[in-house]
């Protein structure tokens, strides 16, 4: 893929119309899948394209879709909306051993506008990762263990927050979505597994068994 995906071609008016159509449908919208153009273009920075009321309604709808899926994050492009908006939340009960190995801890609900992350330190973490826009698949992705996230909150103010462990993985994954990047662009492709095969062969907190069995390496994958 291109290291610098093209920007969305939708105008602000077209984006507003898309959002209003989704909000007025009366049902939860589907999550678009790999191949949809919104997933491969850089979303427009949020700059007041929506009224405060529309923004609040969209954020609440995204939260509902995320819970229904279920998932721990959702980006607006996953609903076909090319705006830099994402929601994250991780309150699921997980196996204590897996939580310890993956450094996974509860994450309160957050709405992120125009997020940007920067690695803190050089430590990487490699684990299987999935995506609501690539149903039924997962692969190993190496990501920075700690990141600093700069973002805007719905009231318009800017904020910064440090994330580590699984929370850092979540914010990187969702921020990537807003820039036209899917996790498979960063994945060890030999690790790619269907959910069924992962459950049958590689379901453990770490990736050692899968690395040996599938013959993939470690470390980050450089985007071409």
C-alpha span between 173 and 189 (Å, rounded): 17
Q: What is the pLDDT of residue 44?
A: 98
Instruction: Say yes or no to pLDDT of 57 above 80.
Output: yes
What lies within 8 Å, CB to CB, of 214 at 6+ separation is 190, 191, 193, 202
Domain limits of the chain? 12-124+144-184
Q: What is the mean pLDDT of residues 126-139?
A: 98
C-alpha span between 102 and 100 (Å, rounded): 6
pLDDT tens-digit map of 33-49? 999 999 999 999 999 99
C-alpha span between 34 and 178 (Å, rounded): 14
pLDDT grade for 170, boundaries at 50, 70 and 90: very high
Q: Which residues carry a binding-site annotation for Fe cation?
A: 131, 173, 177
Strand order across the beta sheet in which 187-194 lies:
124-130, 137-144, 187-194
Q: Which residues carry a binding-site annotation?
A: 131, 173, 177
Active-site choice (174, 197, 204, 212): 174
Q: What is the pLDDT of residue 217?
A: 85
Assigned fold of 12-124+144-184: Peptide Deformylase (3.90.45)
Residue 136 vs residues 129, 131, 196, 205: alpha-carbon distances, Å: 11, 9, 8, 19
> Please, which residues bridge with residue 38 across strands?
none
What lies within 8 Å, CB to CB, of 152 at 6+ separation is 46, 112, 113, 114, 115, 158, 159
Closest to 176 measured CA to CA, from 89, 105, 86: 86
97 catalytic per annotation: no
pLDDT grade for 19, boundaries at 50, 70 and 90: very high
DSSP element (H, E) containing 176: helix 165-177
Instruction: Say yes or no to pLDDT of 132 above 80.
Output: yes
C-alpha span between 51 and 73 (Å, rounded): 23
Closest to 136 measured CA to CA, from 99, 97, 184, 208: 184
Q: What is the pLDDT of residue 22?
A: 98
Strand order across the beta sheet in which 73-75 lies:
73-75, 85-90, 107-119, 146-152, 158-164
C-alpha span between 127 and 141 (Å, rounded): 6
What lies within 8 Å, CB to CB, of 144 at 6+ separation is 119, 120, 121, 123, 124, 125, 168, 172
pLDDT tens-digit map of 113-127? 999 999 999 999 999
C-alpha span between 129 and 192 (Å, rounded): 10
Average model confidence (pLDDT) across the chain = 96
């Amino acid at each position: 893929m291109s290291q610098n995906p093209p920007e969305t071609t939708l105008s602000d008016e077209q984006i507003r119309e898309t959002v209003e159509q989704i909000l007025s449908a009366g049902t939860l919208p589907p999550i678009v899948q790999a191949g949809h153009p919104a997933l491969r273009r850089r979303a427009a920075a949020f700059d007041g394209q929506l009224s405060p009321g529309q923004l609040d309604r969209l954020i609440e709808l995204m939260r509902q879709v995320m819970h229904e899926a279920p998932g721990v994050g959702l980006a607006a492009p996953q609903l076909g909306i090319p705006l830099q908006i994402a929601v994250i939340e991780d309150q699921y009960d997980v196996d204590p051993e897996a939580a310890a190995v993956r450094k996974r801890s509860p994450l309160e609900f957050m709405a992120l506008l125009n997020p940007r992350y920067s690695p803190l330190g050089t430590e990487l973490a490699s684990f299987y990762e999935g995506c609501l826009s690539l149903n039924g698949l997962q692969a190993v992705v190496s990501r920075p263990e700690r990141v600093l996230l700069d973002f805007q909150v719905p009231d318009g103010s800017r904020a910064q927050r440090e994330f580590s462990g699984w929370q850092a993985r979540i914010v990187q994954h969702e921020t990537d979505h807003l820039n036209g990047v899917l996790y498979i662009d960063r994945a060890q492709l030999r690790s790619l597994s269907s959910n069924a095969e992962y459950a049958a062969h590689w379901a453990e907190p770490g990736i050692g068994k899968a690395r040996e069995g599938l013959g993939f390496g470690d470390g980050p994958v450089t985007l071409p």
